[in-house]
Structure 1
Amino acid sequence: MIVILGAGLAGISASYHIGHERCVVYEQNTYAGGHIHSEIRDGFTWDEGPHVSFTKHEYVRSLFADSTEYVEYPVFPANYYKGSWIPHPAQTNLYAAPQAVREECVRDFLAMREATEKAEFASANYQEWLEFAYGKTFAQQFPAAYTRKYWTTEPSNLTTDWVGGRMYFPAVSDVLEGAQHPLEKSTHYITTVRYPKQGGYISFAQKMLTGANVEYGKKVSFTSFSERVVHFSDGTSMHFNTLVSTIPLPILIQQSDAPAEIKQAASELSCSSVLLVNIIANHPTQRKNNWMYVYDEDKYSSRINFTELLSPANGVEGKTGIQVEVYFSKYKTAKESQEEIAAAVSKEMVEMGLVKSLQHIDAVHTKWSAYANVIFDHSRREALNTIYTWLEQFGLVREDGDLEPMVDWNAKFGEEKSAKDGSLFLAGRFGQWNYFWSDDCVLRGKYLSTVI
């Protein structure tokens, strides 16, 4: 049997595509889905953040569609900036920003574009990329501020290899026109999304979950790569010939027979954690934006979504379910308790007009997730390479571009399958320590079925 660690989307996809009859999946929780698990509480369906499917991969679209009924709709995210609501992305919707900020942003943007047209530009870090793309004023007021909240570190501490199409590099004409009035076109990389009609985002995985051999309550306590055995906290163990690990790479390495220098490399892999503050207010949704980004650095709130706008079945009629994300990491530690942060966030919702008053709040509960986003700092690539190189002696076959944050799946499925000789495989955002979304996790599992 092929041993798979973790029943998140990558692990379940691997088992489904390889064949459930050939795999056994070990999961520490009492449920499958990992970060796409959906929880029903107080009549509301809560995901772990605003999961929506906007994949262009027809295979994944069909797989999700075969799993459950879904709703499909256009999305209109928004940005909150010092009392103003600005359509997303802000760089091409500056008409909604305060006049002084708008004028300075446009002036700096044009000056930067003029300068970069006269000389070649190469950014050494994300801060330089932001200033190159948007000019210093916009960079500092908007994405740099948000970086400190969402990525929990200075943009200068981040590389640029993860950016891809996730940050819109605007045309001069779009910035100038968007500073005067709304554009007739959308410049956001997401235009329409799909979401399960009922049951939360986890429902998209139902087809892959059917028939899976999952053993729950199996938390990995130690992995012996040399003896090819995984030990669990309940005292049991499992020998393996082929291992697929989707659990966080630092945990896999730290709780193993890896030498000190490899464990040191694992400790240099950084990620953020998220505190989800879930608020129920006894009035309808106050804004129709599907999700919102909060740029104000004096607020805990980083990103906000409404359960009932994901799908009407996710909410309760006449009420609103608001989920707020608050991020921390080794770069930005929490200085208040979860209860204190939740109380502060509740007040922020009133200030932003998303909750009518504190008296309208029926319930507040929190959920902590230790693994939210991989932080693409300057130590990631070298640390990852050190770990991968060491794992080669135990059956890991290096893949083209395995240090890159993202994968071109069309190219990946077309390349020569060098990993066919392997017996140790990594999968998923935290298993591979990269920038995977849900479609990437599905496709990674599908790819593994071609090499195992």
Structure 2
Amino acid sequence: MNYDIVVLGAGISGISAAYHLKEGGVNSVVFEKNPSWGGMLDNFEINGFRFDRFVHLSFAIDEHVKEIFAKSTDFYTHTPDPFNYYRGYWVKHPAQNNLYPLPSGEKKMILEDFKKRKLKDVSEIKNYEEWLRVQFGDYFAENFPIPYTRKYWTVEPKNLETKWVGKRIYLPSIEEIEEGCETEKTPVTYYAKEMRYPKKGGYKSFLTSMVKGIDIRQNKEVIKIDIEKHKIYFSDGTQCKYKKLVSSLPLPELCKIIENTPKEVVEASEKLMCTSGYLVSLGFNKPDIPKHLWFYIYDEDILSARVYSPSLKSPENAPEGCSSLQAEIYFSRDKKINLSEDEILQHTIEKLIKMNVFKEDDLVVKNIKKEDYANVVFKHNIYENRKIVLEFLEGCNIKSIGRFGEWKYLWSDQSLISGQMAAEKILRELPDKL
């Protein structure tokens, strides 16, 4: 088969690329290796409980993205009010300006350390650990974000650069920290003011308006790309030709399947690091098990980094009279978990019970799933290696999109925009190129 434009991957960036091409009057075909579309935004059901494939809430501010999401589905709007679990204490998020529940001695150490921290210009800061110590002082850094970095990013913070941080971490004034030590009635300072989630059908329902009319071929895994002949080979023995190619495949995977990829490009792609993740999904026979939409866990003896509630996002995600939670656990080539999936599942259940989140008799559904690609890790060599790979792909006339196609810290709305930008670039090229 011959196609003018082929899109690889039916996640949000691939769907967005095909949708915006169609909006511009150009058809494409999308090939997806899985039996359903949605990528990381997909979901699955167990005994009437719906769980997203990975955890999502929308706080998009781009008006075009918000319009697409709004015309796709009705949604709930949640006000962020996350919490943190730290050594038996439940602390409002972000912890740095909500220390009220902690013992007075510990609050005093954090406050004193914050006041005497060594201030530096951003240009002088060499790594993320140093950034954390400069922002919060040694005691808070060593007991809160440094352990959490090991859990979430799976590396020592000194091995991370800092450009990715942006506005993701709140930097309070000394007055805010002092207030947070004295009272729990502090304002919400989370970086998003509201979070949106579909009323029905899970997070992927936000994409339904884009999917309509798009040609998506499922169960089509790409095993080889011949860039000279513009030919794609699939695991089912079929093949096709293309004139233009858009890919949301992870850069290391894409470099493996492009025929005759230069050695230096393959090596650069292999140096790009990401986390993988286990998602533990739990269903309960009571409606009120989750007390928070989501919470973070700092304790390193607990594998879970974050826990969300699908049933609080939308009651439709659980049977009537029931509720649910999902816990995220991260690992990577730098930090392996030497436990079986059953052991990880059991560990997660036991720790959450010990934290008094639920009782064993409440549990009616338990599941664990692994995702090979969870988050991009911003080690110091990321930019040079990413540049080598992306310049090679550009030379192959392949437009690489999405979180793992651009190898950036993209949220779902940014991934949608990534696909949109690729489509708009193709539309500008079409009069001369096709």
Q: Bin the TM-score by the shorter chain.
A: over 0.9
Other-structure match for 2:204? 202
Contact 1:75 1:289 in 2 (8 A): no
What is residue 378 of structure 1 aligned with on the other side?
380
* Cα displacement (A) at 1:394: 1.9
The amino acid that maps onto 2:239 is S
**Tell me, what secondary structure is at the counterpart of 1:242?**
strand
Paired residues for 1:111-122 under 5 Å: 111-112=116-117, 115-116=118-119, 122=124
Find the residue that maps to 1:116 and give its secondary structure.
coil
| Structure 2 counterpart of 1:269 | 272
Given the two structures, how large is their TM-score scaled by the length of structure 2?
A: 0.94
Q: In the alignment, does 2:313 pair up with 1:310?
A: yes
The code of the aligned residue for 1:129 comes to: W
Partner in structure 2 of residue 444 of structure 1: 418
Is the partner of 2:162 in helix, strand or coil? coil
Mapped contact 1:84–1:98 kept (Cα < 8 A): no
Task: Tell me the distance in 1 between the aligned counterparts of 2:324 and 2:255.
Answer: 39
Tell me, yes or no, if structure 1 residue 74 matches structure 2 residue 79. yes
| Deviation digits for residues 407-433 of structure 1 (CA, Å, limit 9, x no counterpart) | xxxxxxxxxxxxxxxxx2111001111
What is the TM-score with the length of structure 1 in the denominator? 0.90
Kindly state the Cα deviation for residue 182 of structure 1 after the two structures are TM-superposed.
2.8
Q: In the alignment, which residue of structure 2 is the partner of 1:414?
A: none
Structure 2 vs 1, CA of residues 341 and 137 (structure 1 numbering), >3 Å: closer, same or farther? same
Amino acid at match of 1:142: F
Mapped to 2, the partners of 1:392 and 1:72 lie a distance apart of: 40
> Which residue does the alignment assign to 2:106?
101
The Cα offsets for residues 44-81 of structure 1, whole Å up to 9 and x where unpaired, read as 11013331111111111111000011111212110000
Measure the CA separation in 2 of the matches of 1:388 and 1:288.
44
Superimposed CA distance per residue, residues 169-191 of structure 1 (whole angstroms, 9 cap, x where no aligned partner): 22222111112113542111122
**CA distance in 1 between partners of 2:374 and 2:136 (Å):** 27
- C-alpha separation in 2, matches of 1:43 and 1:203: 17
State yes or no: 1:435 paired with 2:409: yes
* Aligned match of 1:39: 44
State the AA in 2 paired with 1:379. N
Partners of 1:15 and 1:121 in 2: CA distance: 41
1:121 to 1:10, Cα distance in 2 relative to 1, 3 A: closer
Q: Which is worse superposed, 94-103 or 59-68? A: 94-103
Deviation at 1:326, TM superposition (A): 0.8
Matching of residues 220-235 of structure 1 within 5 Å:
220-235=222-237
Count of matched residue pairs = 420
What is the match of residue 130 of structure 1? 132
**SS class of match (1:333):** coil
2:393 aligned residue:
391
Deviation at 1:287, TM superposition (A): 4.2
CA distance in 1, matches of 2:173, 2:123: 17
Instruction: Give, in angstroms, the shift of residue 337 of structure 1.
Output: 0.2
1:338-371, CA deviations, whole angstroms, 9 ceiling, x for partnerless residues?
0011011101111111112x23321211111110
Q: Which moved more, 1:178-187 or 1:318-327?
A: 178-187
Is there any run of 5+ residues in structure 2 with no aligned partner, and where? 427-434
**Paired position in structure 2 for 1:345:** 348
Equivalent-residue separation in structure 2 for 1:251 and 1:40 (angstroms) = 28
Moved over 6 A (4+): none
Contact 1:275 1:326 in 2 (8 A): yes
Q: Which amino acid in the other structure matches residue 191 of structure 2?
A: Y
C-alpha contact 2:290 2:324 (8 A) present in aligned 1: no
Superposed counterparts of 1:362-377, under 5 Å:
362-377=364-379
Contact 1:254 1:266 in 2 (8 A): no
Q: Judge conservation of contact 1:2–1:23 (CA < 8 Å) in 2.
A: yes
Q: Aligned partner of 1:438: which letter? A: S
Q: Which moved more, 1:209-218 or 1:99-108?
A: 99-108
CA distance in 1, matches of 2:320, 2:178: 42
Query: Can you list the C-alpha shifts for 1:256-292, whole angstroms capped at 9, x where unaligned?
Result: 2202221111110111111111112222333431101
For residue 48 of structure 1, what is the amino acid of its counterpart?
R
TM-align CA RMSD = 1.5
CA distance in 2, matches of 1:207, 1:304: 29
> Residue 343 and residue 156 in structure 1: after superposition, are their counterparts in 2 closer, same or farther (change >3 A)?
same
Which residue identity is paired with 2:27?
Answer: R
Q: Classify the secondary structure of the residue corresponding to 1:22.
A: coil
Judging changes above 3 Å, is the alpha-carbon distance between structure 1 residues 120 and 152 closer, same or farther for their aligned structure 2 residues? closer
Query: SS state of the match for residue 345, structure 1?
Result: helix
Deviations 1:172-229 (A, max 9, x none): 2211111211354211112211110011000000000111101111111011223322
How far apart are the structure 1 equivalents of 2:181 and 2:317? 36
Q: Secondary structure at the match of 1:10?
A: helix
Q: Are residues 1:48 and 2:53 paired? A: yes
Please state whether the residue corresponding to 1:71 is helix, strand or coil. Answer: strand
Whole-angstrom distance in 2 between the partners of 1:363 and 1:450: 44
**2:180–2:186 CA contact under 8 A, matched in 1:** no
Deviates further, 255-264 or 95-104: 95-104
1:18–1:448 Cα contact (<8 Å) kept: no
Q: Where does residue 245 of structure 1 map in the other structure?
A: 247
> Quick check: 1:338–1:366 contact (8 Å CA) kept in 2?
yes
Cα distance 1:391–1:49, how it changes in 2: closer, same or farther (>3 A)? closer
Q: What is the CA–CA distance in structure 2 between the aligned matches of 1:140 and 1:320, rounded to whole Å? A: 35
| Contact 2:98–2:186 under 8 Å retained in 1 | no
Among candidates 264, 289, 295, match of residue 298 of structure 2: 295
Identify the residue that residue 163 of structure 1 maps to in structure 2. Answer: 165
Which residue is equivalent to 2:400? 426
Residue of structure 1 equivalent to 2:190: 188
